[in-house]
Structure 1
Amino acid sequence: MTRRSKPNADRPIHRSPGRSRDHRVVYVAVEGEITEVDYLAYVNKELIDDGQITLHVIARANGLKPMETVTKVLDDPDPGDELWVMFDRDEHTGIPQAFSSGRKNDVDVAFSHPSFDLWLLLHFQAFSGSQNGSSKIVHEKLRQYPGYETFGKQGDDKSVKGTRVDSIRGKERTAARNARKLIKDCAFDGCSEAGGHADGCDPLRRDPSTDVWRLLAALKIIDD
């Protein structure tokens, strides 16, 4: 069944009837069920010009694996819909396959290595150094900032609401600038701070990195 014929599948998505041809509809399927969903809710509420763009987030309880995000966002799109997926390195398998499927189906990938939490940290500071899939140091540094004192600790839900949103508000360009600086350290020839990672760059070697800034650029929140 498709999203249209199964209205209660995952998070229901309702298209806006009769939208202008100039109006953009963007779907983002996310790996996580809390952090990414909360962050994109903030983006949707405060940062997007909803007169020009409608953002829909696809998520599932207990999360989606990388290939599942691609499958979900490709579930019966309308012509002209813009499709994105967001997933992390963590300890996932199938990441190269998810990238390959995304390229074949015109799905953009906002990939983070080691995790989306790096994107949050970059709102406050620059970061560097291989993490080998671990977010331990990212979390240690993130906890130094207001609202994030317990982020990633056992029992904490890793939500991005309230004080945590207040702390990152208005720092999107700083985060993007710090994310782009990481690309300069990429070992693959052809990657650049201005152009991003080249198509042939192995995502598993982009350590650390995050391409969430590309989604924000596509949403006209920051300059591309």
Structure 2
Amino acid sequence: MAKRGAPGGDSAPHPGRGGPRKNKVLIVVCEGQTERSYFHRLNHRYGAEHNFQIQLTPRKVTEGQQFNGYKPVPAVREAIRLKKTTKGIKNTQFWTVFDRDENDDIYEAFRLARQNDINIAFSHPHFELWLWLHFASCPPGRLGGDRTVTPAKLRKTREFEDFEKLLEPRHFEELIKCGRQANAVRLARRLVDDCPSGRCAPPSEPGAAGHAASCDILLRDPSTDVYRILEVLGIVS
């Protein structure tokens, strides 16, 4: 019987079990397949080198099975549940990763996350913005909620012309070439500085939130907080 709150019968992740204890553990609850494949490859490529472990929820996706991810509020609630089950384990952070898309529960998701000390890597309008920033020469202007612009730009790059939703190893290898990750972080930070609210500035501390508490989440167009995770893990400083 599948455990309640854990799709596919997955139990709660157990940081540090089954191998040497990592200095830092990130438990990441993902909304979509693209995000999950990205963090899976990030963990595989850099985990040992930078002494961290990313544990994804859902933990397993059977080949050929449709990905069973989480919308914003369920993602935060799942992170809260996992935080309670792993209480007392040091050096563990809890993150949810979701997009603006057409989700109507984002304000509530952020409220729950603040109350329970859950981190959010939010992208507006979608996660593909983060991928495209690796190849961009400058940050994009306002997208007005148009979700077709960034994927179209991404697929115009030679490296991602065949990209759909699943981030294959060859795609990931292109993302980490030639200082592209540092470029994506730099441009993502510039988007914080260019936030329409006029109240936001890139944080001085790596991994910290840059958007002001009074900034309207849905007006952060465009933006992506995924860079914070790379800073937290020490992949890009």
Q: Does the alignment reach a TM-score above 0.5?
A: yes
For residue 15 of structure 1, report the CA deviation from its aligned partner.
3.4
Counterpart of 1:143, as a letter, is: R
Per-residue Cα deviation, 1:120-145 (whole angstroms, up to 9, x for no partner)? 00000033222233321101110121
Given candidates 100, 117, 129, the residue that maps to 1:89 is: 100
Deviates most, 102-111 or 188-197: 188-197
How far apart are the structure 1 equivalents of 2:170 and 2:52? 27
Per-residue Cα deviation, 1:155-184 (whole angstroms, up to 9, x for no partner)? x4x111132112111421110001111112
For residue 22 of structure 1, report the CA deviation from its aligned partner.
7.5
2:139–2:190: 8 Å Cα contact kept in structure 1? no
Question: Given the alignment of the two structures, is residue 128 of structure 1 paired with residue 140 of structure 2, yes or no?
Answer: yes
Relative to the length of structure 1, the TM-score reads 0.85
Relative to the length of structure 2, the TM-score reads 0.81
How far apart are the structure 2 equivalents of 1:44 and 1:22? 12
How far apart are the structure 2 equivalents of 1:204 and 1:105? 21
How far apart are the structure 1 equivalents of 2:143 and 2:36? 24
Report matched runs for 1:26-45 at 5 Å: 26-32=26-32, 34-45=33-44
2:37–2:167: 8 Å Cα contact kept in structure 1? yes
SS in 1 for 2:201: coil
Instruction: Work out the percentage of aligned pairs sharing the same amino acid.
Output: 35
Deviates most, 199-208 or 189-198: 189-198
How far apart are the structure 2 equivalents of 1:37 and 1:11? 17
SS in 2 for 1:192: coil
> Which structure 1 segments of 5+ residues have no match?
none
Question: Given the alignment of the two structures, is residue 65 of structure 1 paired with residue 79 of structure 2, yes or no?
Answer: no
How far apart are the structure 1 equivalents of 2:16 and 2:3? 14
Question: Given the alignment of the two structures, is residue 199 of structure 1 paired with residue 199 of structure 2, yes or no?
Answer: no
* Higher percent of residues as helix: 2
How far apart are the structure 2 equivalents of 1:5 and 1:207? 31
Given candidates 61, 74, 81, the residue that maps to 2:80 is: 74
SS in 2 for 1:200: coil
May I ask how many residue pairs the two structures share in their alignment?
Answer: 217
Counterpart of 1:183, as a letter, is: V
- Equivalent residue number for residue 207 of structure 2: none
SS in 1 for 2:53: strand
Q: CA RMSD in A?
A: 2.8
1:28–1:56: 8 Å Cα contact kept in structure 2? yes
